[in-house]
Homo-oligomer: A and B are copies of this chain.
Amino acid sequence: MTQSETASADVFQEKWGPKIEAYRAALAKEVEPYKKYVKGIDYNAEHFNAVEAMESILTEDEKAITNCTAKQLIAKQKSGEYTALDIYEAFAKRGAIAHIFTNCAMELFIEEGRERAKELDKYREEHNGELVGPFHGLPITLKELMKYGGKVTTASYVCYLDNFIEKDPRKESISIQILRKHGAVFYMRTSQPQSVMHLDTDNVITGRTTNPYNRKTSPGGSSGGESAAVALGASVFGIGSDIGGSIRVPAAFCGLYGIRPTCKRVTGLNSLSGGAGQESIFSSQGPLTRHLEDLEYYMEHYINGGKPWIQDPNMIPLEWKKETVDKEAVTFGVLLTDTLVDPSDAIARGLKYVQEKLGTSNIKTKVITIDHGKMKEAFKQTLHIYGQSRPTHEKLFAASGEPLLPLTKVFLNFANPETNDVLVNNILKEEFKLYFHRLFQDEGIDFLISPTSPNVAEVPKNLTHWNYSSMFNLIDFPNIIFKTGLTYDPEVDVKGPTGIIPDFNPADYVNLPINLQLTALRHQDEKLVEGIKILDEVLL
């Protein structure tokens, strides 16, 4: 550090240090009662596998409850087998331990969640077993940037540490209100990285979140608190948001399902963002889940029950309608590389495996190649678009003087907004969108299987190539992350992605699941779910 850096670090520490300490202390206090469960577990071990450890901690009853799907939990509450409180205690225990293991929470309010579960039980008793709605008694974790009425929302910006959100339906996240109205139970708000523009999760307020399968690696980002929490069973649904891969990369890195719906089907209204006003690429909100069935359940009940277009004029009033897809008529395209960075051996193996398995089941696949020049230009424009909000971010950092983390610096260097021409960004974006739309049509494919990221996960600070996820933000085609059922094998998966990780070491990625991404044409979210069902049937 230079002298002036040291001086400004001192000023920052003086003003914001105590607030950050208080913030962390509140978190630590919440998990204190759960510390007894992790005694003797070396959860700071380099490659610590928290998923495995969690299994050893839970009782059979807790496992039974927390492994249920949403639909099962609803049915079992209706039948009286479980109370909302039973469900809550099991999930909250996992959530508290998940935080101890991975530092996935920004805020915990376990007692408040417990009171809510009790209220829901009381409602059910007083209404002859009737439930409040399709999310009755279901614990849902929330990315912290969703403004929560009656609490502070920071989006991990230090300057927002006092940003108290009133309990006002016009100020609180609309999605939170929809979920609460239909019975959800909240107790954890999860971490996101500084600027919310890393595909990793590290911030100055609460520090780093780790991958539950392998502590040395990143849980992905920016919804990395969600992926860590959901993979460890802290909730039925984890709500993330995605403007460059921020639902999908964490879902993939933590072995989960995650949907980035077509924009404007799930509202992000009343979320805190440093990217306000950038309309070339919109953010999309959606769930991360352990079960595919839950992902579909969420989309159907959130959209059809919540009707987000009533509160948010930007939402499209499209009901969620089940599709049917004929397995025998369908063709899965396979994209092996974006032509800019070839994926690692593990990802290539996953792609090959899926092709083979589909082939064995007589489901058509077709390798798709993408024009290199067009892809290169599209990625350039994507970065330029993200760069549009650089001045806003710089102001937000300057407001507190918080030190910039390495991947924040990468983001801030994506493009120079002063020389950027938004109209050019948009024209080239639209050209690429049409190119990709016609590629589907010309190749006769229904879906496209592709990597989510160059590797199964990254050792922190390495993930700078966003293109596998961000290309679909650019053109707003919906995606779901799915499980191949394979796991990283350091003996076989020796090569990393080309050119971006000089010190790649296969041993770093042990235990990590190999997940991939499925894409459909714009607005074909329902069809996409059917595509995943076919894959799951073949693969799992």
Chain A residues with a Cβ under 8 A of chain B: 170, 276-280, 309, 313-314, 316-318, 388-389, 392, 422-427, 430, 433-434, 437-438, 475-477, 521-523
Contact = CB atoms under 8 A, between A and B. Distances in A.
Contacts of A317: 318, 523
Given A276-B427, A279-B279, A313-B521, 17 more contacts: A170-B438, A277-B424, A277-B426, A277-B430, A278-B426, A279-B422, A279-B426, A313-B433, A313-B475, A313-B477, A314-B430, A314-B522, A316-B316, A317-B318, A388-B422, A392-B423, A422-B422
A521 B425 CA distance: 30
Given A170-B438, A280-B279, A318-B318, A423 B313 contact: no
In the A-B complex, the 4 residue pairs with the smallest Cβ-Cβ separation, listed nearest first, are A277-B423, A277-B426, A277-B427, A313-B437
A309 B523 contact: yes
Contacts of A424: 277
Contacts of A476: 313
B318 A277 contact: no
B434 A313 contact: yes
A283 to B, nearest CB: 13
Contacts of A314: 430, 433, 522
Contacts of A438: 170
By secondary structure, the A interface counts as: loop
A309 B318 CA distance: 14
Nearest to A310: B441
B318 A316 contact: yes
Nearest to A476: B313
Protomer copies: 2
Nearest to A422: B422
Given A318-B318, A475-B313, A523-B317, A388 B434 contact: no
Contacts of A316: 316, 318, 523
B279 A313 contact: no
A303 B304 CA distance: 23
26 contacts: A276-B423, A276-B426, A276-B427, A277-B424, A277-B426, A277-B427, A277-B430, A278-B426, A279-B279, A279-B280, A279-B426, A309-B523, A313-B433, A313-B434, A313-B475, A313-B521, A314-B430, A314-B433, A314-B522, A316-B318, A316-B523, A317-B523, A318-B318, A388-B423, A389-B423, A392-B423
A521 B316 CA distance: 12
Nearest to A438: B170
Contacts of A318: 316-318
A318 to B, nearest CB: 6
A437 B427 CA distance: 30
A92 B401 CA distance: 71
Contacts of A434: 313
The residue among A170, A278, A279, A392 with the most chain B CB atoms within 10 A of its own CB is A279
A277 B425 contact: yes
Nearest to A421: B277
Contacts of A437: 313
The residue among A389, A392, A426 with the most chain B CB atoms within 10 A of its own CB is A426
Contacts of A422: 277, 279, 388, 422
The residue among A277, A317, A388, A425 with the most chain B CB atoms within 10 A of its own CB is A277
A278 B424 CA distance: 9
A313 B388 contact: no
A423 B389 CA distance: 8
A25 to B, nearest CB: 35
A279 to B, nearest CB: 5
A313 B522 contact: yes
A424 B388 CA distance: 11
Given A318-B316, A475-B313, A423 B170 contact: no
A173 to B, nearest CB: 14
Contacts of A423: 276-278, 388-389, 392
Contacts of A280: 279
Contacts of A309: 522-523
A436 to B, nearest CB: 8
A215 to B, nearest CB: 39
